């Protein structure tokens, strides 16, 4: 009996941990009942902003509403299940609810939208990094970056138009900013700005993150990854032939929910190099 109770407890704990990881910002209830939990977004007036309903597939029906009302405010519309703010206005601040319905039942999620007049929005998160340890920072605007539209991506620090960290910061085509050998002076608010054209009009989408550069890596609650292979190997390849390089690393544990593995060629991203492809397996 004790063994059965222990197994039941372990299964319950595992199920709770799984649901907590999958649904950090939303509570769900099937059979046509929706629970609601707020998740807040910080945006600036005049910017493009997109909201996505969670766990939506091609077979689901999505309905958006504001504050329980049947209609959306002017300048806010639904396109392919996404809620578009074209652009954000001060009057758009409030709570927006998406309801997804499919054969499994329904799911409702309420998002809080906070609007400011600042050129760069307030950062919704703070990330600690270590002095001298190269860091890759995500733009975290997946919905915007997945649009099949011509775009340009830039990062600014403390909303200054100059590039952050001078020559030590580089931006990839997918929006990641690589900050090489950061110092404490690099601490501040970083904003990823995406310029793109929608319906013949140019918009800018923005998201901020606060970086805190610490002297002691232990204060970041991160175990530094260890690369097991390669270790100063030299690989000879024939010009014009196909070659494959592999990398094995132990990433340890972290309080960050993202782990990124990337290659560089002469300190530049491989995705900026023609003829190079990177794949990842766990």
Check residue 105 and give its pLDDT: 83
The answer to whether residue 248 sits within a structural domain is no
The answer to whether residue 242 sits within a structural domain is no
* pLDDT at position 16 over 70: no
Check residue 8 and give its pLDDT: 42
**Strand pairing class (105-116; 38-44):** parallel
Q: Mean pLDDT across the chain, nearest whole number?
A: 79
Q: Which of 63, 91, 116 is the last residue of a domain?
A: 116
Q: What is the DSSP string of 129-147?
A: EETT--EEE----HHHHTS
The answer to whether residue 182 sits within a structural domain is yes
Q: Which of 68, 83, 116 is the last residue of a domain?
A: 116
Check residue 94 and give its pLDDT: 94
257 or 101, greater pLDDT: 101
Number of domains in the chain: 2
Q: What is the 3-state secondary structure (H, E, C) of 2-22?
A: HHHHHHHHHHHHHHHHHHHHH
In this structure, the chain runs to a length of: 282
Full domain range(s) for residue 149: 126-217
* pLDDT at position 250 over 80: no
Share of the chain above pLDDT 70, in %: 75
The answer to whether residue 37 sits within a structural domain is yes
103, 36: one domain: yes
Q: Which of 14-18, 178-182, 217-221, 269-273 has the highest mean pLDDT?
A: 178-182
The answer to whether residue 261 sits within a structural domain is no
The answer to whether residue 277 sits within a structural domain is no
Cα–Cα distance between 97 and 100 in angstroms, integer?
A: 10
105, 142: one domain: no
The pLDDT-based confidence of 235 (bands split at 50, 70, 90) is confident
Q: Among 152-161, 189-198, 221-230, 240-249, whose mean pLDDT is lowest?
A: 221-230
35, 97: one domain: yes
Check residue 87 and give its pLDDT: 97
The answer to whether residue 1 sits within a structural domain is no
For the segment 49-79, what is each residue's pLDDT rounded down to a tens digit? 999 987 777 778 899 999 878 789 999 999 9
The domain that holds 177 is classified in CATH as 2.60.40.10
Q: Among 57-66, 92-101, 167-176, 242-251, whose mean pLDDT is lowest?
A: 242-251
132, 111: one domain: no
Q: What is the DSSP string of 161-199?
A: SSPTTGGGEEE-TTSPEEE-S--GGG-EEEEEEEEEEET
Longest alpha-carbon distance in the chain: 69
For the segment 179-202, what is each residue's pLDDT rounded down to a tens digit? 988 999 999 999 999 999 999 999
81, 164: one domain: no
* pLDDT at position 247 over 70: yes
The answer to whether residue 8 sits within a structural domain is no
Q: Which of 81, 116, 151 is the last residue of a domain?
A: 116
78, 139: one domain: no
């Amino acid at each position: 009996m004790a063994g059965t109770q222990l197994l039941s407890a372990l299964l319950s704990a595992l199920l709770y941990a799984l649901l907590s990881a999958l649904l950090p910002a939303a509570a769900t209830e099937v059979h046509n009942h929706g629970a609601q939990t707020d998740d807040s977004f910080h945006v600036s007036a005049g910017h493009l902003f997109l909201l996505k309903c969670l766990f939506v597939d091609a077979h689901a029906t999505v309905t958006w509403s504001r504050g329980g009302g049947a209609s959306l405010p002017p300048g806010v519309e639904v396109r392919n299940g996404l809620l578009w703010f074209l652009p954000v206005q001060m009057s758009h601040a409030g709570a927006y609810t998406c309801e997804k319905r499919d054969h499994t039942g329904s799911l409702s999620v309420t998002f809080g939208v906070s609007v400011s007049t600042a050129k760069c929005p307030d950062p919704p998160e703070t990330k600690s990094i270590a002095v001298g340890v190269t860091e890759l920072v995500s733009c975290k605007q997946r919905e915007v970056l997945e649009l099949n539209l011509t775009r340009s991506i830039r990062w600014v620090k403390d909303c200054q138009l100059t590039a952050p960290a001078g020559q030590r910061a580089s931006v990839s085509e997918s929006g990641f900013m690589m900050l090489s050998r950061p110092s404490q002076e690099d601490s501040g608010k970083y904003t990823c700005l995406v310029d793109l054209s929608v319906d013949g009009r140019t918009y800018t989408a923005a998201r901020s993150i606060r970086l805190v550069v610490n002297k002691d890596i232990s204060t970041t609650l991160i175990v530094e990854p260890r690369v097991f292979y390669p270790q100063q190997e030299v690989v000879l390849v024939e010009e014009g032939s196909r070659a494959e390089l592999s990398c094995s690393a132990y990433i340890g544990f972290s309080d960050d929910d993202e782990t990124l593995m990337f290659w560089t060629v002469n300190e530049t991203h491989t995705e900026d190099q023609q003829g190079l492809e990177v794949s990842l397996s766990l």
